[in-house]
Amino acid sequence: MKQKLQAPVFLFGCPRSGTTLLQSLLAAHPEIASFPETKFFLYGIATKYEPKRQRFGLISRRLKPHLNQYFKDEINCPEMLKYFPKIPLIDLYTRSFIKVLNILTIEEGKSLWLEKTPDHILYLDYIEKMLPKARMIHLLRNGSDVVASLYEVTHKYPKEWYKAWDIDYCLERWKESIEISMKHSHKENHILVNYDQLVTDTPAVIKKICDFLSLEFDEGMIADYGRVAKYLIFEKGGRTVRDKIKKSASDKFNKIFDESQKQYILDSISGFNLEILQ
């Protein structure tokens, strides 16, 4: 008998918002399968530098090399590549991508899969078009913390992040993510989660997300998330998950920036009030 899967789940958020922590907590649920960041839509959808491919709905030139690396080197499932079509249309590749994650989920004996790639929030409209029943989780974190973390990590690992981000670019990425999340906040298949609440009252937040996903809360999610995280993190570039969940006591924002930079950042994020998530 063919196993029936529940609607899939996507986890979004600006990079450095704690998405890997939340993914690890959810992936520790006995019914949820999850994988290292696929970056499928990031590499798959043609960019503005590929206008002809955009016009005709073709995949980006970057996708095939990325899929080869991902399935062969990163998750050791090269047999999954046979499911992707010869015709390079993004819609066909997306259907194949969904099929592959379904297969991997069934092989693990799970009932649904969760995909986490922070940059996929930029492709949310397309994802919803292709997967209208999918559930979407948005993780939102304070702008000053995210900007400080992005600035620090991209200057420490510029190659892995493609460049060292300046303050304005860090702000731009955070604002864009927040605006997209807020745009979809009224939809029943979307839930917005506050990072500060996640780390200060983890059981309550995870129970709320489980209710959203129509799953029973499992105590092992909090006990086992660290073990799960080791499988989900294969990249360099400062991506880590702590053994214990706690609100960071780091004064990164004050240490990294001078007074004028701090004021500039605070002024830039002043119009965004995350307290609505309280």
Tell me the per-residue pLDDT of 227-258, one tens digit each, with 9 for 90 and over. Answer: 888 888 755 555 566 666 666 545 889 999 99
Sign for the pseudo-dihedral over CA of 99, 105, 107, 111: negative
Q: Is the confidence at residue 54, as pLDDT, over 60?
A: yes
Specify the pLDDT at position 46.
Answer: 97
Alpha helices by DSSP H, listed for the chain, are 19-27, 40-44, 51-55, 63-69, 90-107, 124-130, 143-156, 167-183, 195-200, 202-212, 220-232, 252-256, 259-269
Instruction: Provide the b/e sequence for 39-50 (b: ≥16 CB within 10 Å).
Output: bbbbbbbbeeee
pLDDT higher than 50, residue 14: yes
Task: Report pTM.
Answer: 0.92
The phi-psi region of residue 246 (left if phi > 0; otherwise alpha if psi is between -120 and 50; otherwise beta) is beta
Residues 107/38, Cβ–Cβ less than 8 Å: no
In this prediction, residue 151 carries a pLDDT of 96
What pLDDT was estimated at residue 1? 38
Looking up tokens 């499988």 gives 231
Q: For residue range 167-221, what is the model confidence (pLDDT) as tens digits? A: 999 999 999 999 999 999 999 999 999 999 999 999 999 999 999 999 999 999 9
Q: What is the mean pLDDT of residues 9-32?
A: 95
Instruction: Check pLDDT > 60 for residue 278.
Output: no
> How high is the pLDDT of residue 236?
57
Domains of the chain are 7-22+115-214+244-278 (3.40.50.300)
Q: Check whether 2 has a pLDDT greater than 70.
A: no
